[in-house]
Structure 1
């Protein structure tokens, strides 16, 4: 649990957004969820936009830290099967537990960024060690446009996660295998 009040409020705002959607994200809702006196959140984030911006910054920071850790702990796969297994483990995490909560909040923020370009700038995908693992695998397999194929593969995986969060279910290894195979062609 973060000791910094601003970080704790942003974390709580992520939970509120995941549970109630963008319309339910209010200063009062965050105060209630954090078990704090009314007005606490607005003392730290005066406007709803300031709260949303802090939430998005925290979400990106958490995601980047997670992806960095994955990349540092995950060797570049030697086979397509190893890459499929690594992606499948990542997708499973995104669909359950903390990953599910953050995924729901991330997609809500992505939709909100259509109307608030300043949020889009914060949400822009960044380089990270997890993404580098996929790139390095594709490059090692002789894929000429490894960067473009990495972006396409990870975008398709993200689409599967979104689809399963909205529609229910899981992502099968066969679906991921198909995406990896397409990236290798």
Structure 2
């Protein structure tokens, strides 16, 4: 079975999930969205669970690649303003275009993972260059519990992204600066 076809189906499943919600994620919906003959998705992913697992694995791979790229583009910040700017870029990516779709799909999968420990395991936060940059910056600023503060800060950012997806609106620089300042306290 072709890896490229599997990737296409997983990518299309992410789009279907983001556009229609968890109930709209069906083999047929993925076939239609990918413009493939009926039955193609079920030939590669026999069950809905297999399709959802493939979707989540692909989502995590795309997110990790994005965070690695951001970490390369935005090395360890030298100031809280640089950290806030980097976080602002992450938020912008998560709220626009394909990033928005992946974010919507990620939250749908997170809710689904409450009842599915295997999905929850795949979705666990992972180490990446962007996360390491935040932690290194906090440690360089003398924050004693830099690892814990990094997790706290990124959870706050995640909550801010979730709020803006659900309620609309943009994120103000002052909001991000406030989160960074709180992490440094």
- Alignment partner, residue 53 of structure 1: 53
1:110-157 per-position Cα deviation (integer Å, ceiling 9, x unaligned): 000001111000000000001011001101101000000000000000
Q: Which runs of 5+ in 2 are unaligned?
A: none
Counterpart Cα distance in 1 of 2:3 and 2:174: 42
Aligned length: 184
CA RMSD of aligned residues (A): 1.1
Structure 1 residue 89 displacement after superposition: 1.1
1:49-79 per-position Cα deviation (integer Å, ceiling 9, x unaligned): 0000000000000001111111122221111
Counterpart Cα distance in 2 of 1:54 and 1:181: 38
Counterpart Cα distance in 2 of 1:39 and 1:136: 49
**What TM-score, normalized to structure 1?**
0.98
1:141-176 per-position Cα deviation (integer Å, ceiling 9, x unaligned): 010000000000000000000000011011111111
Matches within 5 A, 1:24-173: 24-173=24-173
Counterpart Cα distance in 1 of 2:87 and 2:162: 15
- The runs of 4+ residues in structure 1 deviating greater than 2 Å are none
Counterpart Cα distance in 2 of 1:60 and 1:38: 27
Structure 1 residue 3 displacement after superposition: 7.0
Counterpart Cα distance in 2 of 1:20 and 1:82: 37
Counterpart Cα distance in 2 of 1:172 and 1:49: 39
Counterpart Cα distance in 2 of 1:171 and 1:93: 12
Counterpart Cα distance in 1 of 2:118 and 2:3: 27
Tell me the SS of whatever aligns to 1:118: helix
**What TM-score, normalized to structure 2?**
0.98
1:175 aligns with 2:175: yes
Q: Which runs of 5+ in 1 are unaligned?
A: none
Tell me the SS of whatever aligns to 1:135: helix
